[in-house]
Amino acid sequence: PDLQDKCQLCHESCEECDGGSYLDCSECRDGFHHFNGECIQCGSGTYASYEEKACVGCHSSCASCTGPSNDNCTSCPPSSEALFRAKTNECVSPICDQGSYFNFDDIECQKCHHSCGSCEEFGPGKCLNCAENYQNLDGKCVTCDE
């Protein structure tokens, strides 16, 4: 209420308040966070840090997040080739080390079959080239013993 006992609307960031200013919030609306007496809405690429009492930037691999580390992502930057892996809340690059391939179902790099030097999926007949001491025989990498 104001001096004449009339009701005043809360500031748009407040759910409950003691006045009409953004500094009068006692409780914030959804999507706003109470820091230093005011309700703040964190922008894209930031999260609400109650420890620092401020909006803080996400990890560089995340477009949006709930915390500071690479496993707090909620989305990945559209400009990157990274894919969002919900199981671990990470943005994962589809580029794998030699001897591994990217499994799009699990959204992770996985080892090729031991007979492959490189591959596009798992299996002895799925090699792009053969591992050391293996030779290509009818599309499969085998040793001379086999």
pLDDT digits (tens, 9 = 90+) for 91-117: 999 999 999 999 999 999 999 999 999
The pLDDT, as a whole number, for residue 6 is 67
Mean pLDDT of 115-126: 92
pLDDT in tens, 34-85: 887 788 899 999 999 988 888 999 999 999 999 999 999 999 999 888 999 9
H or E segment to which residue 64 belongs: strand 64-65
Q: What's the rounded mean pLDDT across residues 106-131?
A: 93
Please report the pLDDT score of residue 35 as a whole number: 84
The H-assigned helical ranges of the chain are none
* pLDDT value of position 1: 45
pLDDT at residue 3, rounded to an integer:
52
Q: For the whole model, what pTM was predicted?
A: 0.67
Q: Tell me how far apart the alpha carbons of residues 143 and 123 are, in angstroms, rounded to a whole number.
A: 15
pLDDT band at residue 146 under the 50/70/90 scheme: low
Contacts of 110 (CB under 8 A, 6+ apart): 100, 101, 102, 103, 122
Q: Is the pLDDT of residue 136 over 50?
A: yes
Residue 5: the pLDDT is 60
Is 57 in a helix, a strand, or coil? strand
